[in-house]
Amino acid sequence: MKTMTLALGLALASGGLAAHAAEPMNDLEIAHTAYTAGGLDIRYAHLALAISENESVREFAQTMIRDHSAVNEAAGALIAELNVTPLDNALSQALVEGAEAKRAELMALSGKAFDCAYATNELGYHQVVNQTVAESFIPTVTVEPLKALLEDALVTFRVHEQHAERMVASLSCIG
């Protein structure tokens, strides 16, 4: 029952994010949102390292920290090169708000319950973020270096999604 509730919560959250992503955004808002999403996933990963004792969950978390940090560093360098300031927006704010609630939920768990909740969240999070980047951000972006960064990052994030899907299955979280 808990797994079904979690899955339903993810589906509802995803719909809310998709609705925000449908609102027209400019390049500076897209840059802010992409950076925010990466930063939030890094925070989830640090939480997993602090709580989980499962080696596969810990390895996944380390991968999230490494890969999302690298993308955010590249984004920071691009922002400095272009001498622009990303703009906060409704989607970034929705991501932060949702992440605060999810972190509180995750922090109350331990053992397999935490591992499954973290893995399931990572799968849902990457599904939503990847769809948003592919269908909303990349087609909208007008600055070519930002578009290229998003396209490169999407390749990595799709690998994360597949990894999260395997992790959920290996932990026997759904059922």
pLDDT tens per residue, range 52-73? 999 999 999 999 999 999 999 9
Range of the domain at 87: 28-170
Give the DSSP H/E element, type plus range, for residue 113. Answer: helix 111-132
> DSSP letter string over 41-77?
HHHHHHHHHHH---HHHHHHHHHHHHHHHHHHHHHHH
Assess if residue 129 is contained within a domain: yes
pLDDT tens sequence across 104-163: 999 999 999 999 999 999 999 999 999 999 999 999 999 999 999 999 999 999 999 999
Assess if residue 16 is contained within a domain: no
Assess if residue 8 is contained within a domain: no
Looking at the whole model, is its pTM more than 0.85? Answer: yes
* CATH number of the domain to which 145 belongs: 1.20.1260.10
Give how many domains the chain has, as a whole number.
1
Assess if residue 158 is contained within a domain: yes
Assess if residue 78 is contained within a domain: yes
Assess if residue 18 is contained within a domain: no
Assess if residue 3 is contained within a domain: no
